[in-house]
Structure 1
Amino acid sequence: MTHHSLARAALAALLATTASAALAQTAAPASPDAAAATHIERIRTLDDAGPQLNAVIVYDAAAAAKAKAAKGALQGRTVLVKDNVETAEWPTTAGSLALKDNATGRDAPLVANLRRAGGVVLGKTNLSEWANIRSSDSTSGWSAVGGLTKNPHAIDRNACGSSSGSGAAIAAGLAWAAIGTETNGSITCPASVNGIVGFKPSVGIVSRTHVVPISSTQDTAGPMTTSVHDAALLLNAIAGQDPADPITLEAKRVADYTAGLATASLQGVRIGVLRKAVGERADIAALFETALADLTRAGAVLVDLDYETPPTFWRSTLPVLMYELREEMDKYLSTRPVADGPRSLADVVAFNKAQPRDELRWFGQDLLEQALTTTDAAAYQENLATIRRMTRAEGIDKLLADNQVAFLIAPTMGPAWSTDLVLGDNFSGRTGAGYLAAIAGYPHLTVPMGAVEGLPIGLSIMGGQWQDHEVLKAGAAYEKARTAKLPTPSFERWKPAGE
């Protein structure tokens, strides 16, 4: 990519049209090549230059021609892919200089599915390095390869991680849609704080083969878009069985995740409200009450749930990830069809130590180092059984069954925090309950529900295993009922409302 200057007047004109252009992407492009050309120009003017969002690491200058020739359900729509998912054109780096030459020459099955459906891979998006599993004190959205991703709604605010580039890119209208990945919050958090739709499917709906891994039990890719319909349309394209990923053979999919979205109704649907997940902020609570009022007017029956995760739960979550990270990363790195670069997680740790200025300047790698010593298989199995029980049989399954509700809802996250590379992330307010769906491996949809001081806030809708279609239909019904005004990106530093 080349960086170039842009005249102030031209940039102002581009920013003035960004919001309407992004919304227009939800319809099938009348001219796929023209849409792709517009996205390329927007990347050049908003990502490479102007506010320099750093959302896109690399893009395909020939995407317009490919969009014109594409056939299939996606009709040449452009899709950006998070740079921990392999694509044949470019190296897959996971944001790390250790993998800067990781050109495998292969598509992940989900990308191959995308192309067969007529999607055009526009480029790769930045991410929190190693999908934010490197350090317990990181700054989300930063990687040594891509730099720091900025939130289009306030460029001094965080885009969240690890799918920060995918979230920021779609908020800025740099593509029709993007692929994100999630282990615990890495699709839903960036979608929420960037003011877009993000869908974490049930684990098994989408293949994880040739995706740089963290967890065999929680990892999944999913759509990040401007509407629930588009999330369902993209899910149609990327979902599918994969013999190399056995859980995909167990998944219960539907033929068309867009079916019934346009007519979806909440009339008489009982929905569980996770009140304790609202958090400590009165402004988020007020926004959530507006969403609840919208749902009630749409005919939903709201049921307040008094649920709080047992304190003992948290002791078991990190050891599971640490054990799985070491095992899964060693498998991935040791089987890459690339001669150079790390072959194990231990090699990655050693590489970072040898590159302290480039890799360890802003935060360390304590989690990677902890994973190397988390080797007790019996303890792993016990911890996994504990967190699975607490999030499934004693968690989501129990809440749905005992209260006879179809879904669980809560605010997704608080507003985007000020980015600080020196002090790291500031997750405050105790808002959200997405960890339940993440650890259970169940579907979780976040849909914009308004803003706090111009900063987007999402509404989470979670359901039981394989209830992905039902969750998407509920999200589409909420979109129709929503009365809150949604913010548009400013591409400037944050200012208090009214200033």
Structure 2
Amino acid sequence: MDRRHFLNTAGAVAAGAALVPHVTHAAEPADVTDPTTAAAQPPAFAFEEATAAGLLARMQAGTLTSSTLTAAYLARIAAIDAAGPRLRSVIEVNPDAMAMARERDAERRAGRVRGPLHGLPVLVKDNLDTADRMQTTAGSLALVGTPAPRDATVVAKLREAGAVLLGKTNLSEWANFRSTRSTSGWSGRGGQTRHPYVLDRNPCGSSSGTGTAIAANLAVVGIGTETDGSIICPSAICGLVGLKPTVGLVSRAGIIPISASQDTAGPMTRTVADAALVLQVIRGADARDAATADAARHTDDYLAALDPNALRGARIGVARNMAGFHPAVDAAFDRALAVMRKAGATIIDPCNVPTVGKYDAAELEVLLYEFKDGLAAYLASRGDTVAHHTLAELMAYNTANAGSEMPWFGQELFEQAAAKGPLTDTAYREALATCRRLSRDEGLDALFREHQLAAVVAPSNGPSWPTDWINGDRYSGGNASVAAVAGYPSLTVPMAYVQELPLGVSFIGLAYSETQLLALGYAFEQQTRVRRPPRFRPTMAG
């Protein structure tokens, strides 16, 4: 999740490279002494900004193989992630990636295409279980050991669709739910992920590795997870499209959890069409996750619904009380609204979400309770593939290995969660009810009903801040929370740049409105075509 301001506020109240799997420790000198080291621009990449549709068409035509594509991405990871700019976005490459690619090629030659991602290299965040030779650790050295015994359902769906699992991405350790003073993009196992556009800036959110990797063209598409901001923020801040689905549309089984009421996985891509394709693959009911019981009723064809004219006649609410955190962002947002208006949208401005921020303390309470409960269940599911099975054991490990696990910040959120009781506690039930009432009933539901909206829009992010391990994140503004707390979908699409730093615009909807949000985002994308690949500048002054 994105370590937002409410963690500091509410937390204080509550407390008073080679092409083989690699593990790096953040205390190594290379991680802490050269954050702005300039690197020569990497060589031209044959598949820069390639789309899933374009690559699949070439494979279908016989002019490209999965083996060629996979080898190119592995070489790209070696050249600019493990070396060169040293992005540190890929925590581990799959030692079986080339074998998978050759198998997909053989299947295609034999006339068997598994599904819509057949032969495409995909990166997944290191909190999704993969039953292979890769680790699943949430970035923590405490979970390094034996790989998971079973794929996360999302991973299983990717395999079924023919994807090549290229590797795992780095993340903010424990999905940024360990400390109130954390630095986004840092993990004990993977070190510090860098911002791909300006290396000394922060990539934001816990899905920072996926954000940097896909922005830097290290794979076709990627999978992130979000509790509050960890798809939207790194996608926006790295110039990507990111979709946080409705909670319950995508299974969480086999994903290291924070919150049963807010967690979800989702696509992080360079285009809206690629996000629609990935969502079509990973969504669906799963007996392993009761929250997905209604997912089978929401089986829209997201790709078919993409319409460059979707903004025409759409009623778009402008959440002015979710803007105002940076003048350059506000100016870009006004230009984006002008594009929507010119494309035929009816703009209701202002159309403020009345309850923004009023749920922050209750949200933290919910997350602390649900993290303790969900983590215990997850660790039990791993059996003897992990050495630690309780939050207390993990805290003891961190304390005993503070040099590698806590060189910059502590584990205040772990400690607060450990002090919570079971989910039957009145405090938890009341906090959850407060979150749902304020984010849904008196928040988005009321606003959409009053104004008959297709979506609410707001800036996704402020300009990225310099990474600072001593003081932690200097969060510059964003708007993931209301949809995250409600469990509703949100989509960020590239909107503009502040010099080299990307900005996104968020389209927020009601439950299971992904089809409409993707169509609106696609129409905006086609009108603007803002995204450009990163140039790996060492610093803003470089």
TM-score normalised per structure 1: 0.94
For 1:369-380, what aligned pairs fall within 5 Å after superposition? 369-375=415-421, 377-380=425-428
Question: CA offsets, 1:240-290, max 9 Å, x none?
Answer: 211121111123422422112145521111000111211231111111111
1:82 aligned partner: 125
Question: CA offsets, 1:408-459, max 9 Å, x none?
Answer: 100001011100111110013xx33220100111111000011112100011
For 1:239-388, what aligned pairs fall within 5 Å after superposition? 239-251=283-295, 252-304=297-349, 305-309=351-355, 312-375=358-421, 377-388=425-436
| CA–CA distance in structure 2, aligned partners of residues 55 and 115 of structure 1 | 22
Unmatched 5+ stretches in structure 1: 5-9
| CA–CA distance in structure 2, aligned partners of residues 11 and 68 of structure 1 | 33
Deviates more, 1:48-57 or 1:33-42: 33-42
| CA–CA distance in structure 1, aligned partners of residues 155 and 287 of structure 2 | 16
1:146 aligned partner: 190
For 1:457-476, what aligned pairs fall within 5 Å after superposition? 457-476=503-522
Match of 2:94 among 60, 74, 97: 60
Paired residue type of 2:257: P
Report the CA distance between 1:102 and its aligned residue: 4.3
2:144 aligned partner: 100
Instruction: Determine helix, strand or coil for the equivalent of 2:200.
Output: strand
Instruction: Determine helix, strand or coil for the equivalent of 1:337.
Output: helix
| CA–CA distance in structure 2, aligned partners of residues 420 and 310 of structure 1 | 28
Report the CA distance between 1:375 and its aligned residue: 1.6
1:7 aligned partner: none
| CA–CA distance in structure 2, aligned partners of residues 253 and 81 of structure 1 | 24
Match of 2:160 among 116, 122, 134: 116
Q: Please tell me whether the aligned partners of residues 247 and 263 of structure 2 are also in contact (alpha carbons under 8 angstroms).
A: yes
Q: 1:26 and 1:413, CA in 2 relative to 1: closer, same or farther beyond 3 A?
A: farther
1:216 and 2:260 aligned: yes
2:468 aligned partner: 420
Q: Please tell me whether the aligned partners of residues 96 and 145 of structure 1 are also in contact (alpha carbons under 8 angstroms).
A: yes
Q: Please tell me whether the aligned partners of residues 273 and 410 of structure 1 are also in contact (alpha carbons under 8 angstroms).
A: yes
1:12 and 2:41 aligned: yes
Paired residue type of 1:270: R
Q: 1:62 and 1:307, CA in 2 relative to 1: closer, same or farther beyond 3 A?
A: closer
1:442 and 2:471 aligned: no
Report the CA distance between 1:306 and its aligned residue: 3.2
Q: Please tell me whether the aligned partners of residues 26 and 176 of structure 1 are also in contact (alpha carbons under 8 angstroms).
A: no
Unmatched 5+ stretches in structure 2: 1-16, 21-38, 59-63, 105-112
Paired residue type of 2:412: D
Report the CA distance between 1:120 and its aligned residue: 1.1
Paired residue type of 1:78: P
| CA–CA distance in structure 2, aligned partners of residues 202 and 384 of structure 1 | 17
| CA–CA distance in structure 1, aligned partners of residues 515 and 136 of structure 2 | 31
Q: 1:489 and 1:26, CA in 2 relative to 1: closer, same or farther beyond 3 A?
A: farther
2:24 aligned partner: none
Report the CA distance between 1:309 and its aligned residue: 2.6
- Paired residues, number: 487
Report the CA distance between 1:25 and its aligned residue: 5.2
| CA–CA distance in structure 1, aligned partners of residues 42 and 92 of structure 2 | 25
Question: CA offsets, 1:106-127, max 9 Å, x none?
Answer: 2111111111111111100000
Q: 1:25 and 1:494, CA in 2 relative to 1: closer, same or farther beyond 3 A?
A: farther
Instruction: Determine helix, strand or coil for the equivalent of 1:54.
Output: coil
Q: Please tell me whether the aligned partners of residues 110 and 207 of structure 1 are also in contact (alpha carbons under 8 angstroms).
A: yes
Instruction: Determine helix, strand or coil for the equivalent of 1:190.
Output: helix
| CA–CA distance in structure 2, aligned partners of residues 174 and 406 of structure 1 | 34
Report the CA distance between 1:33 and its aligned residue: 2.2
| CA–CA distance in structure 2, aligned partners of residues 67 and 11 of structure 1 | 30
Q: Please tell me whether the aligned partners of residues 42 and 79 of structure 2 are also in contact (alpha carbons under 8 angstroms).
A: no
Q: 1:256 and 1:312, CA in 2 relative to 1: closer, same or farther beyond 3 A?
A: closer
Report the CA distance between 1:66 and its aligned residue: 2.2
Report the CA distance between 1:360 and its aligned residue: 1.1
Q: Please tell me whether the aligned partners of residues 104 and 338 of structure 1 are also in contact (alpha carbons under 8 angstroms).
A: no
Instruction: Determine helix, strand or coil for the equivalent of 1:158.
Output: coil
Q: 1:297 and 1:248, CA in 2 relative to 1: closer, same or farther beyond 3 A?
A: same
Q: Please tell me whether the aligned partners of residues 90 and 209 of structure 2 are also in contact (alpha carbons under 8 angstroms).
A: yes
| CA–CA distance in structure 1, aligned partners of residues 356 and 533 of structure 2 | 38
Paired residue type of 2:460: T
1:38 and 2:96 aligned: no
Q: Please tell me whether the aligned partners of residues 242 and 492 of structure 2 are also in contact (alpha carbons under 8 angstroms).
A: yes
Question: CA offsets, 1:127-164, max 9 Å, x none?
Answer: 00000000011000000000000011011010112000
For 1:175-214, what aligned pairs fall within 5 Å after superposition? 175-214=219-258
Paired residue type of 1:275: R
Deviates more, 1:307-316 or 1:27-36: 307-316
1:166 and 2:243 aligned: no
1:48 and 2:82 aligned: yes
Report the CA distance between 1:337 and its aligned residue: 2.9
Deviates more, 1:215-224 or 1:95-104: 95-104
2:450 aligned partner: 402
| CA–CA distance in structure 1, aligned partners of residues 357 and 82 of structure 2 | 45
2:107 aligned partner: none
| CA–CA distance in structure 2, aligned partners of residues 314 and 262 of structure 1 | 36
